Amino acid sequence: MRLHDTLTMSINSLLRNKKRAALTMLGIIIGIASVILMLSVGSAAERFILSQVASFGSDLIFVRNGPGDGRQGSGPPTQAVKQTLTLDDLDKLRQQSWIHAVGADVYTDMLVEYEAQNFHVRVAGTTENEPLMFNTEIQDGAFYTQEDVSSGSNVTVIGHSLADDLFGEEDPIGRRIKIQKRSYRVIGVMKPAGTKFFTDLDRQVYVPITTLMQQLNLDRLQFMTVKIGNTSPADAKERIRVLLRITHKIDNPFDDLSKDDFFVATQEDIMQRAGIIGTVLQILLSSIAAISLVVGGVGIMNIMYVTVTERTREIGLRKAVGAKQRDILSQFLSEAMVLSILAGLLGIIGGVALSWLGLFALGQYQTGWSFAVPINAVLLGFSVSVAIGVIFGYFPARRAAHLHPIEALRYE
């Protein structure tokens, strides 16, 4: 039997049972659309994180609490990790001539009030060189000084959007706001900075780190940032480790990072880790989505078995007039493949559309998300749909091909 005739018969057979064919394809469509959606969003998330890290510049080194091998403490600051970094560590790093600048940070969420307005916002306890470290700029007023940090002054610099919400058309410079019931004088307003790492910088409040630590009764830093100047990142990272091991009294002659109680990372380290996390996330999400593909394949196999049973007499008649086993096999196998390939194409279209909508929605919440469907996701979706048609369609087709013509004609 010619391929054209086989495909024509398969399509006509499916068109006679449109609703059944549509329901059979649904599982494959959902599965492939889910795989493409997960791979696209995972890839976009990886690109987003890498672009956020790259925006800090290659001359920054990050120091956080936790073991030096990064098993803990390599993610966002958390109190679950033993806090070991102190202001003494900050002072020691400041004294190093090869370091261009060093900063420290403590973050928390607090209630900010001005007259009848109040908002829960992120409060960042930082040093005086925060704008230098992270390339942010002052729009009005000034950032606090090293003297403000040393003395623990109750001064604050607020984000652009928060300033609008609190003061409207009123000039915020010199006004007093309350941060968790404590009075602070506003000395500056930041320029619009957008969102970084899911934090809206335009609604953030900056205060001297010593002031916030005193208010929260803290004696530990969440992390430090070192701007290294002309020193190579690898050399700077090793120097910082040696210095902190001395200040923390850690005996580590064999450079066993797991013995350190601090974690030092360059931009390259963070980007590599982000890439690994992105890959693992894509594999995990795709594996979950692939479950629906298996379910869809089982659905195709079940429907094809039902079809073989319903068309037993037709099979017997065709074999009685000379159809061979391979003709019957190719007919039913082609029906399964037509179903799965059509479902695969619809799934690809649906996955691309959902990916665009999802990333468009994320882009409305936070800038920096870019839409791109990985070609491997499309190829994977199409390949899987073909494989499902072959694998799950073969066994019903084989059963049909091996029916005895006399028994098939007698079937009621």
Which pairing describes strands 155-158 and 182-190: parallel, antiparallel, or unpaired? parallel
What is the pLDDT at residue 2?
60
Contact 347, 411 (CB under 8 A): no
Instruction: Out of 26-40, 129-143, 292-306, pick the least confident.
Output: 292-306
253 CB-side CA count, 13 A = 0
CA geometry: angle 209, 211, 215, nearest 5 deg: 115
Contact 238, 223 (CB under 8 A): no
- The pLDDT confidence band at residue 74, using thresholds 50, 70 and 90, is very low
Amino acid at 374: P
How does pLDDT run across 331-390, given as a tens digit for each residue?
777 777 788 888 888 888 988 898 888 888 877 776 667 777 778 778 877 787 778 777
Structure tokens at 242: 């040696």
- The pLDDT confidence band at residue 106, using thresholds 50, 70 and 90, is very high
Cα 327 to its chain centre, rounded Å, is: 49
- The pLDDT confidence band at residue 33, using thresholds 50, 70 and 90, is confident
The DSSP secondary structure of 283-301, one letter per residue, reads HHHHHHHHHHHHHHHHHHH
Amino acid at 95: Q
Give the other-Cβ count within 10 Å of 335's Cβ: 27
User: By C-alpha distance, which of 330, 334, 346, 336 is closest to 382?
Assistant: 346
Percent of all residues in the chain with a pLDDT value above 70, rounded to a whole number: 83
Give the other-Cβ count within 10 Å of 365's Cβ: 10
88 has pLDDT over 50: yes
- The pLDDT confidence band at residue 22, using thresholds 50, 70 and 90, is confident
Tell me the C-alpha distance between 264 and 63, whole Å.
5
Which pairing describes strands 117-126 and 199-200: parallel, antiparallel, or unpaired? unpaired
Percent of all residues in the chain with a pLDDT value above 90, rounded to a whole number: 29
Tell me the C-alpha distance between 368 and 393, whole Å.
44
What is the pLDDT at residue 79?
54
48 has pLDDT over 80: no
Mean pLDDT value across residues 19-23: 76
How does pLDDT run across 163-220, given as a tens digit for each residue?
999 998 899 999 999 999 899 999 999 999 877 766 788 999 999 999 999 999 999 9
What is the pLDDT at residue 164?
93
What is the pLDDT at residue 409?
61
How does pLDDT run across 277-329, given as a tens digit for each residue?
777 776 776 676 667 677 777 777 777 777 777 667 776 777 777 777 777 77
Q: Whole-model pTM above 0.85?
A: no
User: By C-alpha distance, which of 101, 290, 130, 295 is closest to 206?
Assistant: 130
DSSP H helix total and E strand total for the chain: 13, 12
Contact 208, 153 (CB under 8 A): yes
User: By C-alpha distance, which of 203, 208, 209 is closest to 189?
Assistant: 203
What is the pLDDT at residue 73?
46
